[in-house]
Amino acid sequence: MNLQTIIQDGALGPAAMWRVEGAGALVCFEGIVRPIEAEQPIAGLRYETYDPMAERELQQLAAQAIRDFGLLDVRVEHSRGFVANGDCSFRLRLAAVHRQEALAAMDWFIDRMKRDVPIWKRPVLVADPSSATI
Protein backbone atom coordinates (compact mmCIF):
# COMPACT_ATOMS: atom_id res chain seq x y z
CA MET A 1 0.00 0.00 0.00
CA ASN A 2 1.37 3.44 -0.92
CA LEU A 3 1.36 5.72 2.05
CA GLN A 4 3.85 7.78 3.98
CA THR A 5 3.45 9.67 7.24
CA ILE A 6 6.03 12.02 8.70
CA ILE A 7 6.04 13.98 11.95
CA GLN A 8 8.90 16.46 11.93
CA ASP A 9 10.25 19.31 14.05
CA GLY A 10 9.17 22.80 13.07
CA ALA A 11 7.44 24.16 9.97
CA LEU A 12 7.11 22.01 6.86
CA GLY A 13 9.19 23.00 3.87
CA PRO A 14 7.85 23.21 0.32
CA ALA A 15 6.18 20.07 -1.00
CA ALA A 16 8.43 17.70 -2.90
CA MET A 17 7.52 16.81 -6.50
CA TRP A 18 5.05 13.97 -6.58
CA ARG A 19 4.10 11.72 -9.47
CA VAL A 20 1.78 8.78 -8.96
CA GLU A 21 1.35 6.17 -11.69
CA GLY A 22 -2.19 6.14 -13.05
CA ALA A 23 -3.41 9.11 -11.00
CA GLY A 24 -5.79 11.59 -12.63
CA ALA A 25 -6.12 13.84 -9.58
CA LEU A 26 -3.57 15.00 -7.04
CA VAL A 27 -5.00 17.03 -4.20
CA CYS A 28 -2.86 18.77 -1.63
CA PHE A 29 -4.10 20.42 1.54
CA GLU A 30 -1.83 22.66 3.58
CA GLY A 31 -2.76 23.90 7.01
CA ILE A 32 -1.14 27.26 7.67
CA VAL A 33 -0.77 28.82 11.13
CA ARG A 34 -2.90 31.95 11.19
CA PRO A 35 -1.78 35.16 12.89
CA ILE A 36 -4.89 35.29 15.11
CA GLU A 37 -6.09 32.62 17.55
CA ALA A 38 -9.16 33.19 19.72
CA GLU A 39 -9.07 36.87 18.71
CA GLN A 40 -5.51 37.39 19.96
CA PRO A 41 -2.48 37.99 17.77
CA ILE A 42 -0.09 35.07 18.05
CA ALA A 43 3.53 34.49 17.09
CA GLY A 44 2.70 30.92 16.19
CA LEU A 45 1.56 27.58 17.52
CA ARG A 46 3.47 24.99 19.46
CA TYR A 47 2.48 21.42 18.64
CA GLU A 48 2.88 18.65 21.13
CA THR A 49 2.67 15.12 19.75
CA TYR A 50 2.43 11.76 21.46
CA ASP A 51 4.81 10.46 18.89
CA PRO A 52 4.60 6.73 18.56
CA MET A 53 0.83 6.84 18.80
CA ALA A 54 0.35 9.88 16.56
CA GLU A 55 2.43 8.23 13.86
CA ARG A 56 0.51 5.01 14.24
CA GLU A 57 -2.89 6.70 14.09
CA LEU A 58 -1.86 8.68 10.99
CA GLN A 59 -0.75 5.45 9.34
CA GLN A 60 -4.05 3.78 10.17
CA LEU A 61 -6.06 6.74 8.86
CA ALA A 62 -4.04 6.78 5.65
CA ALA A 63 -4.54 3.05 5.16
CA GLN A 64 -8.25 3.37 5.78
CA ALA A 65 -8.53 6.31 3.36
CA ILE A 66 -6.85 4.23 0.66
CA ARG A 67 -9.20 1.31 1.29
CA ASP A 68 -12.47 3.19 1.77
CA PHE A 69 -12.03 5.83 -0.95
CA GLY A 70 -10.00 3.78 -3.40
CA LEU A 71 -7.04 6.15 -3.35
CA LEU A 72 -3.74 5.39 -5.05
CA ASP A 73 -1.42 7.08 -2.57
CA VAL A 74 -1.50 9.16 0.61
CA ARG A 75 1.24 11.40 2.03
CA VAL A 76 0.87 13.08 5.42
CA GLU A 77 3.27 15.49 7.07
CA HIS A 78 2.71 17.16 10.45
CA SER A 79 4.84 19.49 12.50
CA ARG A 80 5.95 19.01 16.05
CA GLY A 81 7.11 21.97 18.20
CA PHE A 82 6.93 25.62 17.23
CA VAL A 83 5.54 26.81 13.88
CA ALA A 84 5.42 30.55 13.25
CA ASN A 85 2.31 32.14 11.83
CA GLY A 86 2.27 32.05 8.03
CA ASP A 87 4.13 28.74 8.02
CA CYS A 88 2.79 25.32 7.16
CA SER A 89 2.23 22.82 9.99
CA PHE A 90 0.27 20.14 8.16
CA ARG A 91 0.23 18.80 4.63
CA LEU A 92 -1.99 16.06 3.26
CA ARG A 93 -1.60 14.84 -0.29
CA LEU A 94 -3.94 12.37 -1.91
CA ALA A 95 -3.69 10.73 -5.29
CA ALA A 96 -6.72 9.19 -6.98
CA VAL A 97 -7.92 8.17 -10.39
CA HIS A 98 -10.70 10.79 -10.27
CA ARG A 99 -11.13 13.97 -8.29
CA GLN A 100 -14.37 13.02 -6.49
CA GLU A 101 -12.80 10.37 -4.27
CA ALA A 102 -9.79 12.55 -3.55
CA LEU A 103 -11.89 15.52 -2.41
CA ALA A 104 -14.21 13.34 -0.33
CA ALA A 105 -11.26 11.61 1.32
CA MET A 106 -9.60 14.96 2.08
CA ASP A 107 -12.51 16.17 4.17
CA TRP A 108 -12.90 12.81 5.91
CA PHE A 109 -9.21 12.51 6.73
CA ILE A 110 -8.90 15.94 8.33
CA ASP A 111 -12.02 15.43 10.46
CA ARG A 112 -10.74 12.08 11.66
CA MET A 113 -7.26 13.38 12.28
CA LYS A 114 -8.53 16.12 14.56
CA ARG A 115 -10.53 13.53 16.48
CA ASP A 116 -8.14 10.58 16.60
CA VAL A 117 -4.54 11.67 16.34
CA PRO A 118 -2.89 12.70 19.63
CA ILE A 119 -1.48 16.07 18.63
CA TRP A 120 -2.15 19.16 20.73
CA LYS A 121 -1.57 22.77 19.83
CA ARG A 122 -0.92 25.72 22.07
CA PRO A 123 -0.89 29.35 20.94
CA VAL A 124 2.33 31.26 21.49
CA LEU A 125 1.26 34.82 22.10
CA VAL A 126 3.20 37.66 20.54
CA ALA A 127 3.53 39.36 23.91
CA ASP A 128 4.15 36.24 25.94
CA PRO A 129 6.98 33.99 24.85
CA SER A 130 6.71 32.05 28.12
CA SER A 131 3.59 30.34 26.83
CA ALA A 132 5.88 28.55 24.44
CA THR A 133 6.80 25.96 27.03
CA ILE A 134 4.98 24.22 29.81
Partner 1 sequence: MTAKVLIFGPFADAAGARTLEVCLPETDRVTASVVMAQVAEQHPALRALLRHAMLAVNCSKADDTTVVRPGDELAIIGLVSGG
User: Which residues bind to a second copy, rule: CB under 8 A?
Assistant: 14-15, 17, 19-35, 86, 88, 97, 99, 103, 106-107, 110
Give the list of residues 6+ apart from residue 95 with CB closer than 8 angstroms, or none.
2, 18, 20, 23, 25, 26, 71, 72, 73, 74, 102
Q: Are 125 and 131 in contact (CB under 8 A)?
A: yes
What is the rounded CA–CA span in Å between residue 50 and residue 21?
Answer: 34
CA 87 vs. chain centroid, Å, equals 12
Q: Is 134 in the site for partner 1 (CB under 8 A)?
A: yes
User: Rule CB under 8 A: is residue 24 a binding residue for partner 1?
Assistant: no
Residues 52-111 that bind partner 1 (CB under 8 A): 52-53, 56, 78, 90
In whole angstroms, the minimum distance from the beta carbon of 55 to a second copy comes to: 22
- Pairing type for strands 25-32 and 36-37 reads unpaired
Indicate the residue among 63 and 97 with the shorter CB distance to a second copy: 97
Does residue number 115 form part of the binding site for partner 1 (CB under 8 A)? yes
- Rounded to a whole number of angstroms, the minimum distance from the CB of residue 51 to partner 1 is 9
Q: Say if CB 78 and CB 55 are below 8 A apart.
A: no
Residue 114, interface with partner 1 (CB under 8 A)?
yes
Binding stretches for partner 1 (CB under 8 A): 47-48, 50, 52-53, 56, 78, 90, 113-122, 134
